[in-house]
């Protein structure tokens, strides 16, 4: 239920689109939702299926429990309003 509430809020942003394969898309890149540090490992695993490039979305109020420096450079971080908290280093095509 909490994930659905988060996803509903996330989808109100113009930067976010729906996806059948991912929780959402941020500017065309995969988004996986991790509402707690317990869900981070699963989120990384999911993003590895997208060549590791994408974004993890979490509540801004939970940021104190995340250390963005521990996230892969290929993985960005966004909040529930799709505000960019840490950019992903995505290769130019």
Domain boundaries, the chain: 2-86
In tens digits, what is the pLDDT along the chain, a chain of 93 residues? 578 889 999 999 999 999 999 999 999 999 999 888 788 878 888 887 777 688 999 888 877 666 666 666 778 889 999 998 887 776 665
Report pTM.
0.84
- Which of 14, 28, 32 is CA-nearest to residue 75? 32
- Cα angle: 56, vertex 31, 61; to 5 degrees: 40
């Amino acid at each position: 239920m909490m994930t659905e509430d988060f996803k509903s809020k996330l989808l109100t942003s113009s930067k976010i689109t729906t996806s059948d394969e991912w929780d959402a898309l941020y500017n065309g890149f995969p988004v996986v939702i991790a509402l707690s540090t317990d869900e981070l490992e699963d989120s990384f695993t999911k993003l590895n299926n997208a060549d590791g490039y994408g974004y993890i979305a979490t509540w801004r109020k939970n940021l104190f429990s995340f250390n963005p420096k521990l996230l892969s450079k290929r993985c960005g971080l966004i909040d529930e309003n799709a505000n960019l908290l840490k950019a992903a280093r995505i290769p130019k095509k």
